[in-house]
Amino acid sequence: MASYSENMEQAISHIKQQTILMQRSLTQKKLMDALKHSSDMLKELRNPDLSPKLYYELYIIIFDSLSILSQYLVENHPTRHHLADLYELVQYTGNILPRLYLMITVGVSFMQTKDCPAEEVLKDMIEMCRGVQHPIRGLFLRYYLSQRTKQSLTSDILLDKKFDVQFVITNFVEMNKLWVRLQHQGPLRERDIRTKERKELQILIGSNLVRLSQILDDSFPLYRDEVLPQILEQVVQCRDVVSQEYLLDVICQVFPDEFHLGTLAQLLDSTLKLNPDVVINKVVLSLIARLNGYLDRQDDPSVVIQNLKQLHLNGSTDTKATSESNVDSAENKADADVTPTNKVDLFFVFWKYLTKITDERPDLPFHEIIPLVHSIMLLSLKWYPTNLSNIEILYKFCWEKYQEFGSTIPEECEQSFKEFFEYPLNTESFYEIITKCDSFQKLLSVQSVALQKDIINSILDKIIETNTKISEKHHLEKLGAICEPVIPVPNDKSKVSKLTVDDELDDELTFLNPEQEKLAKIVHLIYHKNVDQNTELLLICKKWYYKGGKQLRYTYPALITEFWKLIRKLHLKSLKIPARKEKYYAKIKQLFKYVSRCNADLFNICGLSVSDLLFKLNLQTAAIADQLELSEISYDFFSQAFTIFEESISDSKIQFQAIVNMAQVLQKTRSLYNEESYYDTLITRCTLHGSKLLKKTDQCRAVYLCSHLWWATELSLIGEEEGVTQYFFREGKRVLECLQRSLRVADSIMDNVQSCQLMVEILSRCCYYFIHGDESETHVGVKYIAGLVELIQANLKGLQLEESGDTQEYSVPAQNIVIGGDGSYICKVLSSSVCKVSNKIPNVRIPDLIAVPVSYFERTLNYIENQKQVDDRFNAIVT
Amino acid sequence: MSIFYKNPVDIEILFDGEDSRKHVEIPTNSHSAKSLFDKFPLFEDGESVSGLVTLRVREGKKLEHSGVKVSLIGSIDTTGLNNEVKNKNLDTFLTLSMDLCPPGELVHSVNYKFNFKDVEKRFESYLGKNVSVLYYIKVTMIRKSADIVKLKKFWCHRYSNESALKENEAKPIKLDIGIENCLHIEFEYSKAKYTLKDVVVGRIYFLLTRLKVKHMELSLIKRETCGTEPNQLSDTTSIRYEIMDGSPVKGETIPIRLFLGGYDLTPNMTCNYFNVKNYLSLVIIDEDGRRYFKQTEIMLYRTI
Query: What's the rounded mean pLDDT across residues A227-246?
Result: 89
Query: What's the rounded mean pLDDT across residues A809-830?
Result: 70
Contact criterion met (CB < 8 Å) for B257 and A91: yes
Report the pLDDT value the prediction gives residue A2, as an integer from 0 to 100: 54
Confidence of residue B144 (pLDDT cuts 50, 70, 90): confident
Residue A832 scores a pLDDT above 80: no
Report the pLDDT value the prediction gives residue A156, as an integer from 0 to 100: 54
Which residue would you say has higher pLDDT here, A848 or A123? A123
Which residue would you say has higher pLDDT here, B175 or A833? B175
Closest residue in B to A126 (Cα–Cα): B255
A97 CB neighbours in chain B (<8 A) are: 245
Which distant-in-sequence residues (6+ apart) come within 8 Å of A482 by Cβ?
Answer: A434, A440, A441, A444, A445, A456, A459
- Dump pLDDT digits (tens) for A603-647: 888 777 788 888 888 888 888 888 888 888 888 888 888 888 888
Which of A89, A96, A133 is facing B252, going by the closest CB pair?
A133
Average per-residue pLDDT for chain A: 80
Residue % of chain A over a pLDDT of 70: 87
- Dump pLDDT digits (tens) for A303-327: 666 666 554 443 333 333 333 334 4
Residue B169 scores a pLDDT above 50: yes
Stretch among A158-167, A365-374, A711-720, B25-34 having the lowest mean pLDDT? B25-34
Phi, psi of A385, rounded to the nearest 5 degrees:
-60, -20
Residue A295 burial (C-beta neighbours within 10 Å; 0-12, 13-18, 19+): middle
Residue A403 scores a pLDDT above 70: yes
Residue A402 scores a pLDDT above 90: no
Distance CA(A353)–CA(A271), nearest Å, equals: 10
Which residue would you say has higher pLDDT here, A573 or B79? A573
Phi, psi of A825, rounded to the nearest 5 degrees:
-95, 130
Query: CB of A312 within 8 Å of any CB in chain B?
Result: no
Which of A92, A138, A181 is facing B262, going by the closest CB pair?
A92
Closest residue in B to A89 (Cα–Cα): B262
Query: CB of B192 within 8 Å of any CB in chain A?
Result: no
Which of B210, B242, B263 should be substituted to probe chain A, the one whose Cβ sees the most A Cβ atoms within 10 Å?
B242
Q: Is the dihedral of CA A71, A76, A80, A82 positive or negative?
A: positive
The A residues from 39 to 58 touching B (CB cutoff 8 Å) are: 46
Distance CA(A544)–CA(A482), nearest Å, equals: 11
Query: What's the rounded mean pLDDT across residues B43-68?
Result: 85
Which distant-in-sequence residues (6+ apart) come within 8 Å of B14 by Cβ?
Answer: B51, B52, B53, B54
Closest residue in B to A94 (Cα–Cα): B241
Contact criterion met (CB < 8 Å) for A89 and B252: no
Confidence of residue A175 (pLDDT cuts 50, 70, 90): very high
Nearest Cα of chain B lies from the Cα of A57 at a distance, in angstroms, of 21
Which among A144, A57, A52, A129 is positioned nearest to A96, based on CA atoms?
A129
Report the pLDDT value the prediction gives residue A527, as an integer from 0 to 100: 82
Nearest Cα of chain A lies from the Cα of B124 at a distance, in angstroms, of 26
DSSP B72: E
Which of B247, B254, B263 is facing A131, going by the closest CB pair?
B254
Which distant-in-sequence residues (6+ apart) come within 8 Å of A93 by Cβ?
Answer: A39, A99, A102
Confidence of residue B80 (pLDDT cuts 50, 70, 90): low
Query: What's the rounded mean pLDDT across residues A236-256?
Result: 88
Query: What architecture does CATH give domain B9-157?
Result: Sandwich (2.60)
* pTM for the full predicted model: 0.71
* Three-state secondary structure call for residue A369: helix
What is the ipTM metric for this complex?
A: 0.86
Which among A354, A373, A363, A198 is positioned nearest to A285, based on CA atoms?
A373
Report the pLDDT value the prediction gives residue B221, as an integer from 0 to 100: 92
Residue A143 scores a pLDDT above 90: yes
Instruction: Find how far residue A110's CA is from the centre of its chain.
Output: 63
CA distances from B270 to B6, B126, B159, B299 (A): 42, 12, 15, 12
Residue A2 burial (C-beta neighbours within 10 Å; 0-12, 13-18, 19+): exposed
Which among B87, B93, B82 is positioned nearest to B130, based on CA atoms?
B82
**Domain B9-157 identical in fold to domain B162-301:** yes
Report the pLDDT value the prediction gives residue A322, as an integer from 0 to 100: 34
DSSP A865: H
- Dump pLDDT digits (tens) for A14-44: 999 999 999 999 999 888 999 999 998 998 8
Query: What's the rounded mean pLDDT across residues B266-289?
Result: 88
Contact criterion met (CB < 8 Å) for A181 and B249: yes
Instruction: Give residue limits of the domains in chain B.
Output: 9-157, 162-301
Which CATH number applies to B162-301: 3.50.50.60, 2.40.128.720, 1.10.1530.10, 2.60.40.640?
A: 2.60.40.640
Residue A497 scores a pLDDT above 60: no
Which distant-in-sequence residues (6+ apart) come within 8 Å of A791 by Cβ?
Answer: A759
Contact criterion met (CB < 8 Å) for A132 and B244: yes
- Dump pLDDT digits (tens) for A431-479: 777 777 777 777 777 777 778 888 888 888 888 888 777 777 777 777 7
Contact criterion met (CB < 8 Å) for A95 and B242: yes
Report the pLDDT value the prediction gives residue B204, as an integer from 0 to 100: 92
Q: Helix H segments across A5-134?
A: 8-27, 31-42, 52-76, 83-89, 96-111, 118-128
Which distant-in-sequence residues (6+ apart) come within 8 Å of A537 by Cβ?
Answer: A470, A471, A473, A476, A526, A528
Report the pLDDT value the prediction gives residue A103, as an integer from 0 to 100: 92
Contact criterion met (CB < 8 Å) for A132 and B245: yes
Residue % of chain A over a pLDDT of 90: 7
Report the pLDDT value the prediction gives residue B241, as an integer from 0 to 100: 92
Residue B295 scores a pLDDT above 80: yes
Which 3-state string (H, E, C) describes A207-255? HHHHHHHHHHCCCHHHHHHHHHHHHHHHHHHHCCHHHHHHHHHHHHHHC
- Dump pLDDT digits (tens) for A161-173: 888 888 889 999 9
CA distances from A471 to A474, A528, A533, A590 (A): 9, 5, 8, 21
| Other Cβ atoms within 10 Å of A511 Cβ, number | 5
Residue A834 scores a pLDDT above 80: no
